[in-house]
Structure 1
């Protein structure tokens, strides 16, 4: 029997691709009409999808009793590049009406067996760790045993994308010993997360668990393998445009390009444009390149500086262009068959707002599925 889940703030339904065929979505929700179209195009019509502000969703619109609730709630106010509003912000504050629905499900006797939250790494440190403590208090208040991990998609995909996951198991369920460690693990529990635990109340601290994730196998793909010679939706820059990008580079970054040219082989790198202060304090736009076969973290295309540029060097030939929408989807672990929006910015935003599918699969295999299998007789009773 498939496991059942809800997908809040679902976007294009990337969490479902990570969970895989052993899971059935009972309910999905988002407020963005364009993302709704993508969800439906990639999830057999998406009959379970409700296009509605989560603050207006009622418990009666939530069918059945889910094994898992997945919620990738908005990150803008928790981001290190955001405005610092945290959970009090208009967008990240959507966690509160979402959690109100979780409380309502418990009152109805339909409390989710597992709840998993996903957000940016900044959720760990936002407002001096107080937002982290607020999330912990929410889980503790409903009696969940819970913990958090920070997982970088780079373990699975050639993209640097650290994300925070807080995972809770309902208090009446057994947690297999293998899923819990006696102490934090450096790979999944960075110092900021360990320090954040100091802000937990005694009750929440007693319910805290160090989730035990296995070390994933070595990644078997790199950035160059995903780059298309003839991309759809973007064009290779003119020589003048490429020279302009090179002109935006500092001496250090230009030297990286020269070293790559001297290698005499095809080398793929990525470029982000950033505002940096010069030695005299004046701010100017800079192009920063990396050739470590890993893309920078995909973001939403709020402006030109948020869109990642590809640089391909083959001997003395240097070509540049924007990352294509299909390449962005591949960097999120989505299949070639995933149907993307026609407009470039819509497709890029969909990818930048999403969750990396292989990370979800790792969490499902390491925590969600073992917990549910351990409790299957009790759940069926």
Structure 2
């Protein structure tokens, strides 16, 4: 059995999949069309191959000089997300899945097919366009000779951030799958009701290639949001009291009550705030500020498409302070080590992080499914 397995990293961003996979996996090809993200990848992965900073549509098998045991593709989610435009896999961004997939099929026609493929996206991919997008993905995998199974993995089990994501793990039909890696039916921890609905909607010919992957459950996380907060962040400043009052004025009575309860506790309390558009009692759409003090951050999102940047609210007795979450705090919520170098510009760093992967989630998937699967098919026990 080899000491390490080789993999391709598509839509690589800042290389968080590579960090999560760890030293047991060697990256032999990287594709990331965004020059800014590619720059971060290069800075933080000194031993990685040269980043192919081109549209995946122009990549050819010749660019992938070495064969690989795994292909990782976190293709864009904008057209599949609940906040997206509904174009699904036909959209300009999420539709970049197809050039990637065509490249995988070209490799296969040359006898270089990748044994295991991981597709990562938002959980909305299970139900976008009334489930048709997932059905298309499933049929594409099945018709190309892959068995597949989706897992909904939430970063909240590893870091204090609510970040559910869909991971579709597909493997060639001739691969041996140990009994320990599969189940007879869904696991409520890794398979949501929408996962089961997606399965039920598939035609019988595609269902035969479905796998209910079996993963152990992680131990309860020990880190809380307050543990990740910087005392003196360099990338952000505390809001003026006028700005904090404006944020409080945007809150509903229920959210104001949360703030008052935090004041009465007498403890230093850290919460997160998101600005959202809600309907008032008259049906008018108004912007609201919503706070949570459960020591869990809301999902980090990119500023694109109208999503607001996450705000921290720090309550210390009667005093209330607010500020944007710092870039280092956001990186910690993704499980990135403090040694990971972030872009100097706030928006650039926040976009890189918000578009990325929670590193501990990738590690859990790799250690408990991808590595065992590769090992047993390459001479392992």
TM-score (norm. length: structure 2): 0.97
The superposition leaves residues 256-300 of structure 1 with CA deviations (integer Å, 9 ceiling, x where unpaired) of 000011110111100000111100011111100000100000000
Given that 1:272 and 1:305 are in contact with CA atoms closer than 8 Å, whether structure 2 keeps it comes out as: no
Structure 1 residue 250: deviation in Å? 0.7
Alignment of 1:352 with 2:360, yes or no, is no
Partner of 1:292, secondary structure, is: coil
Q: Which residues in structure 2 correspond to 1:123-142 (within 5 Å)?
A: 123-142=125-144
Partner of 1:243, secondary structure, is: helix
Alignment of 1:116 with 2:118, yes or no, is yes
Structure 1 residue 305: deviation in Å? 4.9
CA distance in 2, matches of 1:138, 1:69: 16
Alignment of 1:10 with 2:1, yes or no, is no
Residue 280 of structure 1 is matched in structure 2 by 282
CA distance in 2, matches of 1:345, 1:293: 24
Structure 1 residue 45: deviation in Å? 6.2
The superposition leaves residues 311-354 of structure 1 with CA deviations (integer Å, 9 ceiling, x where unpaired) of 01111111110000111111111000001011000000000000
Query: Of residues 180, 183, 201 in structure 2, which corresponds to 1:178?
Result: 180
CA distance in 2, matches of 1:134, 1:336: 40
Residue 77 of structure 2 is matched in structure 1 by 75
Residue 166 of structure 1 is matched in structure 2 by 168
Residue 239 of structure 1 is matched in structure 2 by 241
The superposition leaves residues 210-257 of structure 1 with CA deviations (integer Å, 9 ceiling, x where unpaired) of 000111111010100001110111000111111111111111100000
Given that 1:26 and 1:48 are in contact with CA atoms closer than 8 Å, whether structure 2 keeps it comes out as: no
Consecutive aligned runs of 4 or more in structure 1 exceeding 6 Å deviation? none
Alignment CA distance shift 1:247-1:39 (3 Å): same
Alignment of 1:30 with 2:60, yes or no, is no
Q: Which residues in structure 2 correspond to 1:16-55 (within 5 Å)?
A: 16-44=18-46, 46-55=48-57
The runs of 5 or more residues in structure 2 that have no matched partner are none
TM-score (norm. length: structure 1): 0.97
CA distance in 1, matches of 2:76, 2:138: 17
CA distance in 2, matches of 1:195, 1:303: 28
Given that 1:64 and 1:110 are in contact with CA atoms closer than 8 Å, whether structure 2 keeps it comes out as: no
Q: Which residues in structure 2 correspond to 1:58-73 (within 5 Å)?
A: 58-73=60-75
Structure 1 residue 198: deviation in Å? 2.0
Structure 1 residue 173: deviation in Å? 1.2
Alignment CA distance shift 1:365-1:164 (3 Å): same
Query: Of residues 218, 221, 232 in structure 2, which corresponds to 1:219?
Result: 221
Partner of 2:379, secondary structure, is: helix
Structure 1 residue 304: deviation in Å? 7.3
CA distance in 2, matches of 1:46, 1:102: 21
CA distance in 2, matches of 1:344, 1:93: 28
Number of positions where the alignment pairs a residue of Structure 1 with one of Structure 2: 378
Partner of 1:377, secondary structure, is: coil
The runs of 5 or more residues in structure 1 that have no matched partner are none
Alignment of 1:228 with 2:230, yes or no, is yes
Query: Of residues 81, 85, 91 in structure 2, which corresponds to 1:89?
Result: 91
Given that 2:271 and 2:312 are in contact with CA atoms closer than 8 Å, whether structure 1 keeps it comes out as: yes
Query: Of residues 290, 308, 311 in structure 1, which corresponds to 2:310?
Result: 308
Residue 368 of structure 1 is matched in structure 2 by 370
Alignment of 1:331 with 2:363, yes or no, is no
Given that 2:78 and 2:93 are in contact with CA atoms closer than 8 Å, whether structure 1 keeps it comes out as: yes
Structure 1 residue 149: deviation in Å? 0.8
Residue 256 of structure 2 is matched in structure 1 by 254
Given that 2:30 and 2:49 are in contact with CA atoms closer than 8 Å, whether structure 1 keeps it comes out as: no
CA distance in 2, matches of 1:47, 1:376: 24
Residue 267 of structure 2 is matched in structure 1 by 265
Residue 194 of structure 1 is matched in structure 2 by 196
